[in-house]
Homo-oligomer: A and B are copies of this chain.
């Protein structure tokens, strides 16, 4: 029940019709008695700088969730960003610091990282192949580096995109071994599909699954079906896997911490969410 003491989380994107965050956060806030609400705000690209400043001029705004098409353009409007934002080249969470400056972080990859770590994969010192160097692939690579991965292999149909991501990673993490150009999944601790392959029936698999070590962990970003053909093939080889929606619910505790709310578990959030897949 919104009242005069309700704090706002602005959910900035455009269009808003497919937004899911209000139906995840708000039932949770209500259930645990946090007087806050995620408010969808449909902001066309040309108005975004003005809207962002207006939103953070409001005294009862706790923070903002940033989504398409603003994840990249928001970065240059912020006063302080994390290495994860710098590597990903995008930002999906903004808050006001006590001194009034705006700080941004990026949790798209953090959800993936938290998920695989909770499932038992130790990322400190690990090696990973990330297939796809677009928005989500860049975010996952950035979070894997932040989590202490030792080796990252990057590949994308657009070679320049993978190369640019590699350069941003080397700049922020000089000790990290970064390779590009091969999609051979052999001998990695973690293999990630961060491409849209698997959304359409008949899509080829992102890598040659027969070359994945059965001890590898395999993760997926496609949320259309929980078990995509790629995950099914990996499971058949004996690999442990992480589905796309795990990333979503693992991400939200990270957001809540960033905004300064009490800690929450992905299970609690998932149990209160009013969304269907």
CA distance A37 to B22 in the complex (A): 13
Q: Given the known A-B contacts A4-B16, A4-B17, are A58 and B43 also in contact in the complex, defined by CB atoms under 8 Å?
A: yes
A201 within 8 A of B: no
Other A-B pairs, 18, CB within 8 Å; known A42-B59, A47-B58 = A1-B23, A1-B26, A1-B274, A3-B23, A4-B16, A4-B20, A4-B22, A4-B40, A5-B17, A6-B22, A6-B40, A8-B40, A16-B60, A41-B60, A43-B58, A44-B59, A47-B57, A54-B55
Q: Given the known A-B contacts A8-B41, A39-B39, A58-B41, are A2 and B22 also in contact in the complex, defined by CB atoms under 8 Å?
A: yes
Most buried by B among A22, A23, A41: A41
Nearest Cβ on chain B to A86's Cβ, whole angstroms: 27
Q: Which of A31-70 contact B (CB under 8 A)?
A: 37-44, 47, 50-55, 57-61
Nearest Cβ on chain B to A26's Cβ, whole angstroms: 6
Total number of A residues with any Cβ neighbor in B under 8 Å: 39
A19 within 8 A of B: yes
Instruction: Report copies per complex.
Output: 2
Chain A residues near B (Cβ < 8 Å): 1-6, 8, 14-20, 22-23, 26-27, 37-44, 47, 50-55, 57-61, 274
Contact between B2 and A40 (Cβ–Cβ < 8 Å)? yes
What are the residues of chain B within 8 A of A52 when measuring CB–CB? 54
Nearest Cβ on chain B to A170's Cβ, whole angstroms: 38
Contact between A3 and B40 (Cβ–Cβ < 8 Å)? yes
CA distance A16 to B7 in the complex (A): 10
CA distance A19 to B37 in the complex (A): 16
Contact partner of A58 (CB less than 8 A), chosen from B4, B8, B17, B51, is B51
CA distance A18 to B50 in the complex (A): 28
Can you list 30 residue pairs at the A/B interface with Cβ under 8 Å? A1-B23, A1-B26, A1-B274, A2-B22, A2-B23, A2-B39, A3-B19, A3-B22, A4-B15, A4-B16, A4-B40, A5-B16, A5-B17, A6-B40, A8-B39, A8-B41, A14-B59, A16-B59, A16-B60, A41-B58, A42-B59, A43-B57, A43-B58, A47-B54, A50-B53, A50-B54, A50-B57, A51-B58, A53-B54, A54-B55
Contact between B50 and A2 (Cβ–Cβ < 8 Å)? no
Nearest Cβ on chain B to A95's Cβ, whole angstroms: 16
Nearest Cβ on chain B to A23's Cβ, whole angstroms: 6
What are the residues of chain B within 8 A of A6 when measuring CB–CB? 22, 40
